[in-house]
Structure 1
Amino acid sequence: MKIAICDDEINFQKILRKQLEKYYGALEVEIEVFISGKDFLERFENCSLAFQMIFMDIEMPELDGLETAKRIRKINQSIPIIFLTSHTELAMEGYEVAAFRFLDKPLRIEKLITTLQAFDNLKLLDNKIEFQDGDKKLLVNWSEIQYIQSENVYVNIYLEHTNYLIRKKLYDMEKQMPKQLFYRPHRSYLINLRFVKSFNGKQIIMKNGTEIPLSRGKRNEFKLLMMKYLRILG
């Protein structure tokens, strides 16, 4: 696994690297360190799939961590970003860029371990599902699917930058998907909880702006499932 650390404090870089190597094993993880948001973006823009996790200092000169994360999200909406900060009041702004977790500086080892365990749980759900699209077989990560919409005997599978229309029933799709990650709030939709931006009593707003109807009888169930998701994987 490859992890990026973007932080301008050399001593903190060393401490974090040491703890990551201790948790995963030095031979199981490759860590690349950057001292500024600009340096990281130059690497990331050329190879956006190089990393599985990013540790990002919020307070850096020139290009701070929040602005760097906004640019990351224009390229990749789902890569986990863990913000590092000594000022907890800045953490709220991180929700604008779907931060995975926040870690205080100086580093608290127990909180780092909790964060890494949550990431490991997320990886368990990040398997692939196979679709038949005409003559082609498609392998898609569960985590890439934002939502699925039923259209008679077909389902439309929406990803970040594309969608696939395949002949299949939504009920059969639901049986294939992990229940910790996907929920059916309406008879015509199956949604990925990772891409929920907000919700009220009548609808769910996805991060791409799509409005998904929420059936009246499922409101309480959805709230409980969403709370569970945020507690374990959010």
Structure 2
Amino acid sequence: MDPLMLKIAFCDDETQETRRLEALLEEYAADRGQDFAHTSYQSPVELMAEVEKGTRFDIILLDVLMPGENGMAAAREIREYDSNVKIIFLTSSTEFAVESYAVDAWYYQLKPIRKEDFFRLMDSACAACTREQKHSLILRSKSGIVRLELEELVYCEVMGRTLTFHLNNGVVLESMGRLDDLCDQLVEYPNFLRPHRSFLINMEYIANIAARSITMQDGAVVPLPHGKYSETKDRYLSYIFDRKQVVM
């Protein structure tokens, strides 16, 4: 499988530093065969303006000490919009190392960053991003940009142009979109089933299948159209047999 495209942002008020990071990234991309789209910013204000507009990055390399708003304050704001992006702080001081954990930083790297340090950081961050992308969805919800792990999804319901995602922890997320498109995205995952035009369910969370409805483990009832019972039951049994689960 080809590597996924990853989006990276560099934010540093020193142009020389961002150019060095760009050169290291170009060298890394060529060495690892990884595709990147990168953007450089010279102030946290520029970066935040993009994030607030809905631009999503997989990785942000962020200088801590900059004129005006420092990188740590910018990271706190970024977390209000995006809880998933990997933030790597770059700094010449260890002063903010402990504080960096409060914004769920991926790493705190002292400057000047050496090639081997950059490659090591990128190997780790890229592997995590790729792993997450393959088993998750990115949603633009009212609370910002959210990465939804597929194993957490119990079922999704569509009403008009709004997709409502019900998670196994009771959280409900809303995002604009079409259920047809979501089904296309998840076609390679055998645990997802569309028993009704308005519902997509995760068969891992089925509690009961009756003639006219499916009851999920959280108590939600998904309607079954007339004539769909046998097909749905067979699909579910095939799935659990493939999973080598016992049927009594």
TM bracket, shorter-chain basis:
0.5 to 0.7
Q: Is the 8 A contact 2:10 2:62 kept in 1?
A: yes
**Residues 115-174 of structure 1, C-alpha deviations (whole Å, 9 max, x = no match):** 101012213312445xxxxxxxxx736952398499xxxx84359861899463459xxx
Q: CA deviation at 1:106?
A: 1.0
Separation (CA, whole Å) in 2 of partners of 1:8 and 1:44: 18
Q: Is the 8 A contact 1:4 1:33 kept in 2?
A: yes
TM-score (norm 1): 0.58
Q: Is the 8 A contact 1:147 1:159 kept in 2?
A: no
Q: Secondary structure at the match of 1:16?
A: helix
Q: Is the 8 A contact 1:156 1:165 kept in 2?
A: no
* Residue 145 of structure 1: aligned partner: 149
Separation (CA, whole Å) in 1 of partners of 2:170 and 2:83: 11
Separation (CA, whole Å) in 2 of partners of 1:63 and 1:29: 27
Q: In the alignment, residue 49 of structure 2 is paired with which amino acid? A: E
Unaligned runs of 5+ in 2: 1-5, 139-145, 155-165, 175-198, 207-216, 218-248
Q: Is the 8 A contact 1:147 1:158 kept in 2?
A: no
Q: Is the 8 A contact 1:146 1:159 kept in 2?
A: no
Number of aligned pairs?
160
Q: 1:149 to 1:99 in 2, by over 3 A?
A: same
Q: CA deviation at 1:89?
A: 2.9
Q: Is the 8 A contact 1:2 1:31 kept in 2?
A: yes
2:52 maps to which of 15, 38, 45: 45
Unaligned runs of 5+ in 1: 130-138, 172-187, 189-234
Q: What aligned pairs does 1:85-100 form with structure 2 within 5 A after superposition?
A: 85-100=91-106
Q: Secondary structure at the match of 1:68?
A: helix
Separation (CA, whole Å) in 1 of partners of 2:39 and 2:202: 43
* Residue 117 of structure 2: aligned partner: 111
* Residue 6 of structure 1: aligned partner: 11
Separation (CA, whole Å) in 2 of partners of 1:68 and 1:96: 13
Q: In the alignment, residue 145 of structure 1 is paired with which amino acid? A: E
Q: In the alignment, residue 75 of structure 2 is paired with which amino acid? A: A
* Residue 36 of structure 1: aligned partner: 43
Q: Taking every aligned residue pair, what percent have the same amino acid on both sides? A: 27
2:30 maps to which of 25, 28, 42: 25
Q: In the alignment, residue 168 of structure 1 is paired with which amino acid? A: M
Larger radius of gyration: 2
Separation (CA, whole Å) in 2 of partners of 1:160 and 1:112: 37
* Residue 210 of structure 1: aligned partner: none
Q: Is the 8 A contact 2:137 2:150 kept in 1?
A: no
TM-score (norm 2): 0.55
Q: 1:159 to 1:97 in 2, by over 3 A?
A: farther
